[in-house]
């Protein structure tokens, strides 16, 4: 087997020539790879938009919640990828404050409470209860309080409908319709006087 012989001179000549060509290509303006820009894909391209109201203060900014994953029955793990202001809202016209802009982390948060917790009077710990149990208990307590404490006559003997032993706390995100129902059920119906919402407390 014969090994092709390369003299020192040939080796140097080839090497130098190759180097010169390579250097010329790169230094004097021939790009080996065509330059192409890489744009990031829009993360809300395939999201479902859901309109909602920011739960924080009393301004009531409208928000759009972008979720990934459709509503198919075999799909789990739908997640919120972005929350932004709703430009159609006359309240905030698409803007949000620093607190409202964090709403995604309010929802996608491992410390978020997803179950009803109940602490009995005098108890030192919370226990998990079902929503049915809670609503039943609230209804019973309301009935009990009203039966005991309803004032039907004022100090001049005039007929009134006042339940001063109870207050109602609504939410700042409640809609007009919600608030109408709260007024109708609690103020007109049960006679509760203080009807407030959490943002004013």
Of the candidates 163, 158, 128, the residue with the CA atom closest to the CA atom of residue 146: 163
Is 102 or 152 the residue whose CB approaches other proteins more closely?
102
Confirm if 130 and 116 have CB atoms less than 8 A apart. Answer: yes
Shortest distance, position 45 Cβ to other proteins, whole Å: 7
CB within 8 Å of 169: residues ≥ 6 apart: 196, 197, 198, 201
12 interacts with other proteins by CB under 8 A: no
Q: One symbol per residue from 128 to 167: x for binding other proteins (CB under 8 A), - otherwise; what is it? A: ----------------------------------------
101 interacts with other proteins by CB under 8 A: yes
Q: One symbol per residue from 33 to 62: x for binding other proteins (CB under 8 A), - otherwise; what is it? A: xxxxxxxxxxx-x-----------------
Is 17 or 139 the residue whose CB approaches other proteins more closely?
17
Residue with tokens 């509503």: 71
1 interacts with other proteins by CB under 8 A: no
Q: Count of CB atoms within 10 A of residue 8's CB?
A: 7
Q: One symbol per residue from 57 to 96: x for binding other proteins (CB under 8 A), - otherwise; what is it? A: -------------------------xxxx------x-xxx
Is 9 or 73 the residue whose CB approaches other proteins more closely?
9
Output the 3-class SS for 16-69.
Answer: HHHHHHHHHHHHCCCCCCCCCCCCCCCCCCCCEEEEEECCCCCCCCEEEEEEEC
Residue 1, both tokens: 């087997």
Residue 197 DSSP code: E
Interacting residues with other proteins (CB under 8 A): 20, 23, 27-31, 33-43, 45, 82-85, 92, 94-102, 104-105
């Amino acid at each position: 087997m014969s090994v092709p012989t390369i003299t020192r001179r040939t080796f140097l000549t080839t090497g130098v020539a190759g180097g010169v060509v390579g250097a010329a290509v790169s230094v004097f303006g021939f790009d080996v790879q065509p330059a192409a820009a890489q744009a990031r894909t829009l993360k809300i391209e395939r999201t479902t938009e859901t309109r909602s109201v920011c739960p924080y203060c009393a301004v009531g900014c409208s928000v759009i919640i972008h979720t990934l994953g459709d509503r198919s029955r075999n799909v789990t793990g739908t997640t919120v990828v972005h929350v932004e202001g709703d430009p159609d809202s006359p309240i905030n016209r698409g803007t949000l404050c620093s607190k409202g802009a964090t709403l995604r982390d309010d929802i996608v948060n491992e410390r978020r409470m997803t179950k009803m917790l109940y602490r009995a009077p005098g108890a030192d710990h919370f226990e998990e209860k079902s929503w049915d149990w809670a609503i039943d208990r609230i209804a019973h307590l309301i009935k009990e309080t009203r039966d005991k404490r309803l004032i039907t006559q004022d100090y001049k003997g005039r007929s009134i409908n006042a339940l001063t032993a109870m207050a109602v706390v609504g939410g700042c995100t409640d809609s007009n319709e919600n608030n109408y129902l709260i007024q109708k059920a609690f103020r007109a119906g049960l006679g509760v006087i203080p009807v407030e919402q959490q943002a004013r407390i």
